[in-house]
């Protein structure tokens, strides 16, 4: 069990988004909503806004973190942007290094590169991406190659072989996303910062990281963050209702036939929530990967998570398909962490998409 302690400020919290795209919504509308959520996070003072990499998942549009970071960078002012994270098993390290070096040149001191050993689950999607190996087995080598390109492929440095990065400047920091102690240790021995996925193994993974950290990385100091799914509302019951709606849509989209048409998906989503779906949501209330409730409930849960893991930062994944609800969740969390919310006007224009 986590022990209660004063929580971290808003500035030590970040946001993870997957560009949700429910049935019937256009790609332009889904992207517009994610831009608006990022602007909300920027206004509220959250530290980072990362987008995950998912392929072939119905209802999820975040297949291209580098492209999305470029779009978000043009529509936000201060918040750091990045990937949470790039699946290295899907890409050549040089390609990722070049993409994020270009982003870092476009948005100095605002770009992060989070990488993961995960891979796509559908064999057909993996084949289409040109990947047929074991992502976990290949991850250490690809991580080392990526870091060498970012470190040594710069002008004035010895190139990696005969390869130099294009548009290279100050390289973005590399974060390892880990959901098990072994991956946390892999980051530790390379001196890299890590984000752990909140689970039953989080405390063990955090200890493994801190105990084996080698000061060989860019900063020489360990940096530990934890990511967690969150649903916040004015009351615990309202938060549970929001979670139940998220579970309803997610499970129905996942259970639909791969060949289902948009009209068939809309028909599938039309009936109200079932008792079984609400039961699934209620069971998540005790899951360490979810924090659900009112302001006070969420503030307590985040404080316990930080205290129990020693995390310097918590990354929140707001669990909702509707962008307005995701923004509302972030505002509620910010209100839970500080008595007064002050926003700073943005100079970046609003994102306009009419499709």
Which tens digit of pLDDT belongs to each residue from 287-297? 999 999 999 99
- Tell me the average pLDDT of the chain: 89
Which of residues 314 and 156 earns the better pLDDT score?
314
Q: Could you tell me which residues come within 8 angstroms of residue 317 by beta carbon, excluding any fewer than 6 positions away?
A: 15, 16, 17, 18, 227, 228, 229, 230
Per residue in 169-226, pLDDT tens? 788 999 999 999 999 999 999 999 999 999 999 999 999 999 999 998 888 999 999 9
pTM above 0.75, yes or no: yes
Provide the β-strand partners of residue 227.
Answer: 197, 315
45-83 per-position pLDDT tens digit: 999 999 999 988 899 999 999 999 999 999 999 999 999
235: phi then psi, degrees, rounded to nearest 5:
-135, 160
**CA 222, CA 217: separation in Å to the nearest integer?**
9
Indicate if the pLDDT at residue 3 is higher than 90: no
Report which of 239, 238, 240, 264 is spatially closest to residue 252, judged by C-alpha positions: 264
CA dist 307 → 8, 155, 304, 314 (Å): 9, 42, 5, 11
- pLDDT tens-digit map of 219-257: 899 999 999 999 999 999 999 999 999 999 999 999 998
pLDDT at residue 130 is higher than 80? no
The distance of Cα 210 from the centroid of its chain, to the nearest Å, equals 22
Tokens standing for residue 239: 């938060």
Mean pLDDT of 89-109: 93
pLDDT digits (tens, 9 = 90+) for 298-330: 999 999 999 999 999 999 999 999 999 999 999
Read off the pLDDT band of 167 (50, 70, 90).
Answer: confident
| Predicted local confidence at residue 246, as pLDDT | 96
Spatial separation of the C-alpha atoms in residues 354 and 28, rounded to whole Å: 7
Confidence bin at 5 (pLDDT 50/70/90): very low
In this predicted structure, what is the pLDDT of residue 210? Answer: 95
Q: What pLDDT, on the 0 to 100 scale, is given for residue 340?
A: 46
The neighbouring-strand residues paired with 114 are 175
Rounded to an integer, what distance in angstroms lies between the CA atom of residue 229 and that of residue 197?
A: 9
């Amino acid at each position: 069990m986590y022990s209660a302690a004063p929580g971290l400020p808003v500035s030590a919290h970040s946001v993870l988004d997957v560009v949700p795209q429910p049935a019937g919504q256009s790609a332009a509308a889904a992207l517009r909503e994610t831009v608006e959520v990022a602007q909300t996070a920027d206004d509220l003072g959250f530290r980072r806004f990362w987008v995950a990499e998912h392929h072939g998942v119905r209802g999820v549009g975040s297949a291209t973190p580098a492209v999305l970071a470029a779009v978000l960078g043009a529509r936000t002012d201060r918040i750091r942007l990045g990937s949470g994270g790039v699946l290295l098993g899907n890409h050549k390290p040089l390609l990722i290094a070049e993409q994020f070096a270009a982003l870092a040149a476009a948005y100095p001191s605002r770009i992060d590169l989070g990488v993961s050993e995960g891979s796509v689950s559908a064999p057909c999607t993996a084949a289409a991406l040109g990947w047929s190996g074991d992502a976990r087995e290949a991850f250490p080598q690809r991580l080392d190659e990526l870091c060498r390109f970012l470190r040594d492929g710069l002008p004035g440095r010895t190139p990696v072989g005969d390869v130099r990065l294009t548009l290279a400047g100050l390289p973005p920091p590399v974060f390892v996303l880990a959901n098990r102690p072994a991956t946390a240790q892999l980051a530790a021995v390379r001196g890299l910062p890590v984000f752990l996925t909140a689970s039953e193994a989080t405390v063990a993974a955090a200890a493994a990281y801190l105990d084996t950290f080698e000061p060989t990385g860019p900063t020489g100091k360990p940096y530990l963050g934890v990511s967690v799914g969150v649903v916040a509302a004015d009351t615990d019951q309202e938060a549970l209702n929001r979670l139940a709606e998220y579970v309803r849509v997610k499970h129905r989209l996942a259970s639909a036939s791969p060949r289902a048409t948009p009209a068939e998906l809309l028909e599938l989503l039309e009936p109200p929530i079932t008792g079984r779906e609400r039961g699934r949501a209620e069971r998540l209330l005790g899951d360490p990967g979810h924090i659900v409730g009112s302001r006070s409930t969420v503030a307590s849960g985040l404080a316990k998570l930080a205290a129990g893991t020693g995390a310097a930062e918590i990354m929140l994944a707001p669990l909702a398909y509707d962008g307005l609800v995701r923004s509302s969740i972030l505002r509620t969390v910010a209100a839970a962490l500080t008595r007064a919310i002050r926003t700073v006007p943005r100079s970046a224009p609003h994102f306009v998409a009419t499709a």
